[in-house]
């Protein structure tokens, strides 16, 4: 039983699709209900076991209710993927407190809330895998800018490591993926085509990553094939940080 946030588009959608193709039952979570309807309909048509719920990942009561409902219905929660996130490349001297709070609410609070609700169930089971979405910004500084985005992704990495250390003795593994510039709707809406071309030409692997590239890594980290890996942030950026 897997739960994937940010599943309505981009990397989260690719992760949900990959899990479904592997035969997992998947709960899709996204803020936008219309995105979920399209993904759920398509995956159900292919025979996948899919449920969906539109909610704000920073809404504590909504997150609590959803995780409780999933556990009540299925008896367990094996995998949690926190892919929901937002980016604003605002320069620091133009950054408002409101925008800072918005990015932190989604990227950090949302990740924390789902982990906070899923972790006790995984402890009771004696097994579980959590995969968080940090970023290469969580290892260094955002390529696209935005001090608040960089700070939020460093926070996700810290949260990942701390809970991995606590959860290891109970069979709960926690890891993070750290994507670089991935060809998603969010990136295309944030960066113009000329800048994207300049970035990718500078990468040792001279293309943008695809959501499928990231989904393959998430599948590995969520599965028993990575049973001896916890507390790491895996850079997937085409060599951008070299």
Q: What percent of the chain has pLDDT over 70?
A: 100
Can you give the residue range of the structural domain that contains 177? 2-235
Q: Is residue 64 part of a domain?
A: yes
Q: Residue 93 corresponds to which tokens in the numbers above? A: 């001297």
Q: Residue 69 corresponds to which tokens in the numbers above? A: 């409902």
Question: Any catalytic annotation for residue 149?
Answer: yes
Give dist(CA 26, CA 21) in Å, integer: 10
Average the pLDDT over 200-216 and give the result.
94
Q: Is residue 166 part of a domain?
A: yes
Q: Is residue 204 part of a domain?
A: yes
Backbone angles phi, psi at 108, to 5 degrees: -105, -55
**H or E element, residue 150:** helix 147-167
DSSP, residue by residue, 102-114:
HHHIIIIIHHHHH
Give dist(CA 162, CA 165) in Å, integer: 5
Q: Is residue 240 part of a domain?
A: no
The CA distances from residue 119 to 4, 71, 127, 196, 239, in Å, are 15, 12, 10, 38, 33
Does the pLDDT value for residue 188 go beyond 90? no
Judge residue 219's burial from the number of C-beta atoms within 10 Å of its C-beta, 0-12 exposed, 13-18 middle, 19 or more buried: buried
Q: Is residue 241 part of a domain?
A: no
Q: How many independent structural domains does the chain possess?
A: 1
Catalytic residue among 119, 149, 199, 228: 149
Q: What is the pLDDT of residue 200?
A: 85
pLDDT-wise least confident of 51-60, 183-192, 227-236: 183-192
CATH of the domain at 40: 3.40.50.720
């Amino acid at each position: 039983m897997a739960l994937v946030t940010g599943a309505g588009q981009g990397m989260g959608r690719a992760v949900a699709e990959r899990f479904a193709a592997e035969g997992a039952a998947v709960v899709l979570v996204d803020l936008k209900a219309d995105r979920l309807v399209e993904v759920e309909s398509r995956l159900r048509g292919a025979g996948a076991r899919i449920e969906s719920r539109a909610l704000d990942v920073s809404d504590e009561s909504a997150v609590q209710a959803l995780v409780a409902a999933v556990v009540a219905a299925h008896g367990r929660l094996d995998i949690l993927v926190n892919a929901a996130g937002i980016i604003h490349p605002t320069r620091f001297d133009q950054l408002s407190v409101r925008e800072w709070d918005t990015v932190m609410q989604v990227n950090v609070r949302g990740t924390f809330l789902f982990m906070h609700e899923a972790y006790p169930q995984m402890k009771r089971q004696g097994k579980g895998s959590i995969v968080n979405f940090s970023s290469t910004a969580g290892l260094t500084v955002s390529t696209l800018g935005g001090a608040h985005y960089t700070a939020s992704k460093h926070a996700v990495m810290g949260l990942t490591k701390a809970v991995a250390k606590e959860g290891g003795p109970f069979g709960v593994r926690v890891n993070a993926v750290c994507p670089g510039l991935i060809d998603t709707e969010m990136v295309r809406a944030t960066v113009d085509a000329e800048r994207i071309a300049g970035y990718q030409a500078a990468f040792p692997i001279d293309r943008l990553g695809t959501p499928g590239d990231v989904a393959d890594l998430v599948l590995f980290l969520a599965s028993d094939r990575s049973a001896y890996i916890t507390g790491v942030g895996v850079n997937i950026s085409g060599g951008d940080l070299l």
